[in-house]
Amino acid sequence: MSNAQNTTVAVIGLGSMGLGMAQTLATAGFKTLGFDLSEQRKQMAKDSNVTPLDSIAQAFEASDFLVFSLPTAKDVAGVVNDHISILEDRSGKKVIIVDTSTSEPDVTRELAAKLEELGHGFLDAPVSGGPSGAATGKLTMMIGGAEEDVAASRPVIEAMSAKALHVGPSGAGNVAKLVNNLLAAAHMVTTGEGLKLALAAGIEPEAALRVINAASGRSMISEVHFPTWIVSDRFDSGFSMGLMRKDVRLAKALADQKGADLPLAETVARLWAGSTELKDTDDFTRMGAYLPSK
Ligand code: NAD
């Protein structure tokens, strides 16, 4: 039996990202368990060789690794704090939580310290690459935490990611992810504005986009998101307005907390929070076509 077959991984949160991660881990040979609050998501996991669980407690009792893919830091802290007594009883065997949620560095550091005290590990390991990256094991992962926990988690991390970068100590992965998503949110706005200017000056947006993507104004947002989800009118990238608003809000809060003066980020944060015609459940790519007139 390979190491993967001897390793039990439970994925908590089987949403747009977590379901694909669970499927990828199962395909890589891990004994993969899954839990979500939604019965429908658990059924979808079951259809992909992931064993659905009745409770999160079962995941904490049975797993070598727990992979989290939860909406917010509050959800992450809630799940850990409600089940940490199970890990107290499992002090003979080190359990590592690999938290892929886009979470908050202060919350992460607090949880990592609690887990370390009990002889267990907690890595902040947020990801980029969307649902397709999750489903194909091609995510980019940015990791904060202890070197030995990163080394011990390598097989799980490598199954889920094409690139895994250990950024620094606990919380560093969260910081890198918030910086990355602040830039993605800004690119969504600046690219939309560039195409608005092109149209106002008599050039078709599609033609301007082809130029930008062959020149220095390009980004992943202009190269992938605009053609795939915005110009095509599909708006189904699988990442919600609500989650991107959360990321922009957290990046702005981090800048305020650290006293970093970021004038463009202030405007980006105001635009994402102020686009009230767009619902939290809308796809975040709607923002590229949302052109406020004032
Ligand atoms: P999602 O809303 O599709 O999925 C979240 C899932 O978590 C839902 O199925 C929900 O039922 C479940 N859940 C919530 N609370 C739970 C709990 N206490 N126990 C078990 N399950 C619970 O969100 P998503 O798009 O998959 O994103 C998950 C995380 O990954 C977020 O932090 C997000 O910011 C981040 N992220 C998303 C993307 C993307 O493209 N969608 C990309 C990178 C990072």
Q: What is the mean pLDDT of each run of 10 residues along the chain (294 residues)?
A: 86 98 98 98 96 98 98 98 95 94 98 97 98 98 98 98 98 98 98 95 96 98 97 96 98 98 97 95 94 50
* Pick from 174, 13, 15, 10: nearest CA to 107: 174
Residue nearest to atom 2 of ligand 1 (CA): 15
Place of tokens 């004032």: 294
**What's the pLDDT score for residue 292?**
53
Supply the Cα-derived Rg of the chain in whole angstroms: 20
C-alpha pair distances (Å), 92 with each of 95, 99, 115, 119, 214: 9, 22, 13, 8, 56
- 12 CB near ligand 1 (under 6 Å): yes
**What's the pLDDT score for residue 2?**
59
For residue 102, the ligand 1 atom closest to its alpha carbon is: 32
- 229 CB near ligand 1 (under 6 Å): no
Residue 139: strand pairing partners = 161
CB atoms within 10 A of CB 165: 13
For residue 128, the ligand 1 atom closest to its alpha carbon is: 43
Q: Is 97 exposed, middle or buried (0-12, 13-18, 19+ CB in 10 A)?
A: buried
CA 237 to centroid of ligand 1, rounded, Å: 14
Q: Is 47 exposed, middle or buried (0-12, 13-18, 19+ CB in 10 A)?
A: exposed
What is the 8-class DSSP label of residue 35? E
* Pick from 154, 160, 162: nearest CA to 21: 160
CB atoms within 10 A of CB 169: 14
Residue nearest to atom 42 of ligand 1 (CA): 130
CA 40 to centroid of ligand 1, rounded, Å: 14
CA 292 to centroid of ligand 1, rounded, Å: 29
Q: With contact defined as beta carbons under 8 Å apart, do 85 and 138 qualify?
A: no
- 18 CB near ligand 1 (under 6 Å): yes
CA 68 to centroid of ligand 1, rounded, Å: 9
Terminal CA-CA length for the chain: 63
- 140 CB near ligand 1 (under 6 Å): no
**What's the pLDDT score for residue 3?**
86
**What's the pLDDT score for residue 290?**
73
For residue 238, the ligand 1 atom closest to its alpha carbon is: 41
The alpha carbon of residue 189 and the mean position of all alpha carbons in its chain are separated, in whole angstroms, by 20
Q: Please give the Cα distance from 222 to 185 (Å, whole number).
A: 12
- 68 CB near ligand 1 (under 6 Å): no
**What's the pLDDT score for residue 91?**
79
Q: Please give the Cα distance from 264 to 270 (Å, whole number).
A: 10
Q: Please give the Cα distance from 95 to 17 (Å, whole number).
A: 22
CA 71 to centroid of ligand 1, rounded, Å: 4
* Pick from 211, 280, 198, 276: nearest CA to 242: 280
Residue nearest to atom 40 of ligand 1 (CA): 130
Q: Which of 36, 80, 136 to mutate to test the pocket of ligand 1 (most atoms within 8 A of CB)?
A: 36
Residue nearest to atom 5 of ligand 1 (CA): 15
- 239 CB near ligand 1 (under 6 Å): yes
What is the 8-class DSSP label of residue 167? E
